[in-house]
Amino acid sequence: MSLKPTVSVIIPMYNVSEYVDDCFSNLASQSLTNFEVILIDDKSVDDTIEKVILAIECFEREDVEFTLITQEMNMGVACARNIGLERASGEYVYFYDADDRIEPDTLSALYSEAKQQDADIVGCEWYISFAQNERHIKQRDVQGGVDLFRGFASGIIRWNLWLFMVRRSLYEQNGFKFLPGMNMGEDMMVMMKLALASNRVSIVHKPLYHYSQTNTGAQTKNWSKEKRDQVTANVKEVEAFCRRNYGDSFDLELDFLKQSVKLPFIISDRRDDYKIWAGWFPESDKSIRRNKSLPFRTRGLQLAAANRQYWILWLYYKLINRFVYGLLYR
C-alpha cells in the first residue's frame, strides 16, 4: 500500500483463537479503502498467532496493510494499546476488540463523518449482543469536547474505545498514553483526556458495533481487588489531569465519574458488593442528588446505597434487573 492509510485499526489480542476468522471476515467486508490493521498479540498461549498469520496470508484485499506484533511476555491490554499507537500511521485511529463484530460500513461511516465535520472525535451507537438477541444502545449528540467529557463523567455517554474514531494527532500532540499495567478503566482514562483536548466532536446515529455480552449475571463477579485498584489508578489519573490543567473546574464531574465507575456494585444481590460500593470513593456520595442527567431510578439506588438501605438494592435486582431484563435480553 503506497498511499498513507486513512485509518489505523488497532486490535489487541490475547487468546482469541476462536474469533480470528470472524474478525478477519469483518475486516475484509469493510467498505472503507486504504486502511491499515495493527494486531498486537499479548503472548497468547493458544494458537491465536498461527491463525492470524494464516488469515493475513489468505487475505485477498490489496488496499489493506497488516502489521503483526508479538509480545515476548504478557504485558496487558494497556501496553498493547500503546504499542499499537506507536506503530499507527493513519490519519485516524480506531480500536477494535477481536471477539466483537463491526458493521461493513463501520470504518467508512466514521471516517466520512470525521472528514465532513473536520472532527477530532467521531462516535457511534452500538448493540449489546446477547445469546439470542441484541439491544440497540443510542448515543446523544454532544456540543464539543467539554460536553463529551461531561457526558462520560455523568454516565450518560459510554467511553468505550471501540465507540470512537479519533484523530491520531490528538494522541501524539498531547502525549496521551495508557498507564502500563492499569488494564481496567484504561479506555475511560484516555477517552476523557481526549475529550477535553478535542475541539470538534460528532456522533453518527447508527449502531456500528456489536459488543458481545456473554455473561448476563452479576456484573461484578470478575472485579477483583487488583482490578478495582487499576480502575482507581485510572480515575486518579483523570483527576490529576483535570486539576493540573483546569484547577477545580471539573470537581463536580469528577464526583459523577466516581459514582459511575462504582455503580455496578449496587446492581447486584450481594451484600459484599454493597460494602465495596460504600468504601469506594465515599467522598463522591455527597454529589449523588446533583447528577440530574441520570434517571431518577439510578439516583434512587445510589441514595439507598449511601443510606445503607441495602434491602432496596436487593429487591430491585431480584425483581427488575434479574427477572425482567433476564427475560428480555437472554
- Closest by CA to 258, choosing from 151, 146, 149, 154, is 154
Residue 216 is predicted with a pLDDT of 45
Give the residue extent of every domain in the chain. 7-212, 252-328
Range list of β-strands (E), the chain: 7-13, 35-41, 64-70, 92-95, 101-102, 121-129, 134-137, 164-167, 201-212
292/40 Cα distance (integer angstroms): 41
Cα dihedral across residues 82, 78, 119, 125: positive or negative: positive
CATH code given to domain 7-212: 3.90.550.10
28/137 Cα distance (integer angstroms): 25
Residue with cell 480506531: 94
Number of Cα atoms under 13 Å in the Cβ half of residue 249 = 11
Residue 213 is predicted with a pLDDT of 77
221 alpha carbon, distance to own chain's centre: 19
265/279 Cα distance (integer angstroms): 11
95 alpha carbon, distance to own chain's centre: 9
pLDDT along the chain (330 residues), means of 10: 87 97 98 98 96 96 97 96 98 97 98 98 94 89 97 96 98 98 97 98 98 61 88 98 97 98 94 97 97 95 97 90 53
